[in-house]
Amino acid sequence: MIDGSTLDALPHLEQLSFSKDIQWANGLAPTLAFVSTIEAPTATLHALARAPSSLACVRNVIVAGVSDEHLEDEVLRELPSGIVPLWSLDAGIVHPRLLETITRMPSFTSLIASTVYTDDPVHVLTLTYHAAGLGVWDRMAHLRYSESENDRIAARLVVRVASVGRRIDKAVRAITDVVEWAAETGEMDVTPLPVDVIVDAEVDAHACEQLTQMLAKVAVDGTIALGEISIDRLIAERSHSTSQ
């Protein structure tokens, strides 16, 4: 058991590593206000994520001591939500909802993981593509499912394209790869995965056209049911009002 106040009293503590799960004295987690990189077991990270004032400046999270023996206990489901943007995550197995969280972060650029937890499939999974997140989407498309290949990660997929940057071809390819990955199943006669795409109004029209064409090709074999690719009206309205 560790007294969290002892850690908080250390000046300039920027990196912290725990090899085993930590119990905090009096049940009080430390604030760790200046820690930018933390390595800890899943349970410890979850406890810190639920402490409202902990790890306000964390940028890099590493899950320590992942074991295949109790896989469900190793699933990372939450991350500390600090006041600075998170940059990277190194974890063995992640929950689908965590993928939603990290893809919403415009500055998140690095995901190291091998498995996504599919014992608890979600009804609707919303993933957001940012230009800086190309590597994250490349990694997602190669995550293996924790259960049999007959299980999908979600019953419906929503892809939100916030920005693509200059590498339009790579962005479109990465998004398409993740859509195909989410639609994977070992069954021969399978219901198409419903896929909706929302593109922010500021995204280049050429990118939107390319994405439409690529996903239409995927839909031909019946693995996905592609809805109409739409523009995010809130962003469009905000852009319009700003220009006036």
Q: What is the pLDDT of residues 24-41, one digit of tens each?
A: 998 889 999 999 999 999
CB atoms within 10 A of CB 93: 22
Q: Are strands 224-226 and 193-199 parallel, antiparallel or unpaired?
A: parallel
Q: How many residues does the chain have?
A: 244
Alpha-helical (H) ranges within the chain are: 4-8, 42-50, 71-74, 96-103, 134-140, 168-182, 205-220, 233-243
Q: Dihedral sign for Cα 102, 106, 112, 118, please.
A: positive
DSSP letter at 155 equals E
DSSP letter at 173 equals H
Q: What is the pLDDT of residues 70-98, one digit of tens each?
A: 778 889 999 987 888 899 999 999 999 99
pLDDT confidence bin for 185, thresholds 50/70/90: confident
Mean pLDDT of the chain: 88
26 phi and psi, to 5 degrees? 60, 15
Q: What is the pLDDT of residues 201-217, one digit of tens each?
A: 889 889 999 999 999 99
Contact 93/74 with Cβ under 8 angstroms? Answer: yes
- What's the rounded Cα separation, in Å, for the pair 38 and 60? 7
Average pLDDT over residues 141-153: 81
Helix/strand/coil for 26: helix
Q: How far is CA 36 from the centre of its chain?
A: 19
pLDDT confidence bin for 149, thresholds 50/70/90: low
Domain ranges of the chain: 1-84, 91-244
| Residue 234, pLDDT above cutoff 50 | no
Contact 48/32 with Cβ under 8 angstroms? Answer: yes
